[in-house]
Amino acid sequence: MAQDETAASRLIAHLHQFRDGDWQPNVLQRTKLCLVDNLGCFSGGLSLTHFKQSAASFKRTLFPTGAEIRSSPLLRAYLYGQAVIAMDYDDTLYGHPGGPIIGAILAIASESNLTLDRILRGIAAGYETHAILCEATKPSPEHGAKIRSVGNLDTIAAALGISVALNLDDAMIERIIGVSVAHSIVPYTAKWYERPVPGMKNNIGWIAAGAVLAVNLALEGQTGITQPLEGEKGFWRMAGSDRWVFNEDVLGKPPAVLRTGFKHYPACWHTQEYLKTFATLLAQVDAEDDVLDIVIFATPDIEKFCDRNLIGTADVAFSLPAMLELLIAGIEPGPLWASHKPQHVERGFQYVRSDERQILIKTRKGRELTAPVELNSLSDEAGNGLDYDGVLAKFRRLAQTDLQLILLPLLQLESSENVEVVVDELGRLYASITKLMMQ
């Protein structure tokens, strides 16, 4: 790194490809798909109890007199973020990038008269920022076992997503980085998984709202932390890491949107391959037969997902026994997984600590079915997630009809070229999203 270069300036220079460069067709198409998947998860999360609790309290806090709430970008960012994370069905790459980034950008899009192109550029840049900072601050395994820093970098990523969407200059973006770190959440530890798990999940709404506020503060002239990413006192320490590796290897990876994974099930990403493998085995059980026992062979990091005890409304997404029962019962993945508490059945479930990841099913007729469970890559999760058709099917299951009728023609997903959209069409999209939030 040149002596006068900072990590912030190198990051901003890297983002120029999204700010004003020509789109790579596959990056543009994948960014559109990120928006589709995210809006589907937002729609599906609106009916969940733990979202409604967040929505009611934030509305009451921000507008205690019942004033017009549609006018607040801060509120829209918060409600979007809390809804999109509610099912734990949203996309993943080093955490949950889409919720805060897309929520924050959409919150300011209507007031700023953003074109669809600027919105998509902001989304791609936000995902890129998130992936780069997460990779650069990735702790050692020993340190990571004690402090889990999911969400700490999302306010910065969402703020830079807004910055690129607004086409701000380099100096302003660097100022926004300094302000946004001061709005970032602290790292949570592994206690996050203790029952009941927090109904507000990763607090994505607060992260998205913080990004909106940080950008507006910087635009009004407010200053933040000077060179927050640099040196031994850099933000990486506050983000819960014990090392900072910002180099060409980190900057040289494929665009983050191409590496983002779309979930098959409304569950923590660490459980996805177990659920997929179990569904494949379950399809081999005869209709007149039944599952008698389930044995999960897994490394110690999976043990916390093997608790049958459901206390809070958000616990199902972190309980393999509960989710496997939902698969057996044929409950469609979506909001019903959070609201449909699995019935108690006389079925055995066992976790066995092992370096070999596999599932064993024993049936009442004496059959034994087993299969290995694939290990996800943390730095490229696209291959393990839903494909194009899978994302569209998921969106059609989760999203309200009005939103489907507006969004899909707007994006022209099958086209890998940029599409100019008239302002009125975008206005219909914003109005539809806001209407869903306010119901």
Reported as a pLDDT band with limits 50, 70 and 90, residue 110 is: confident
CATH 3.30.1330.120 positions along the chain are 269-372
Residues 6+ away with beta carbon under 8 Å from 27: 124, 255, 257, 258
| The pLDDT value given to residue 310 | 87
Highest mean pLDDT among 63-67, 130-134, 145-149, 188-192 belongs to 130-134
Second CATH level (architecture) for the domain 7-263+385-438: Orthogonal Bundle (1.10)
Neighbours of 64 (CB within 10 A): 8
pLDDT at 4 over 80: no
Residues 6+ away with beta carbon under 8 Å from 34: 91, 98, 102, 123, 127, 257, 260
| The pLDDT value given to residue 415 | 75
Q: What is the DSSP letter of 292?
A: E
Reported as a pLDDT band with limits 50, 70 and 90, residue 102 is: very high
| The pLDDT value given to residue 135 | 94
186 CB burial (10 A radius; 0-12, 13-18, 19+)? exposed
Peptide bond just before 196 cis, omega within 30 deg: yes
Residue reference for tokens 């409604």:
52
Report the mean per-residue pLDDT for the chain: 91
Second CATH level (architecture) for the domain 269-372: 2-Layer Sandwich (3.30)
Q: Please say whether the beta carbons of 321 and 349 come within 8 A.
A: yes
Nearest of 147, 60, 73 to residue 110 by alpha carbon: 73
pTM above 0.85, yes or no: yes
Each residue's pLDDT tens digit, 308-348: 888 888 899 999 999 999 999 999 999 999 877 766 667 89
End-to-end CA distance of the chain: 51
CATH 1.10.4100.10 positions along the chain are 7-263+385-438
Least trusted range by pLDDT, from 32-46, 362-376, 411-425: 411-425
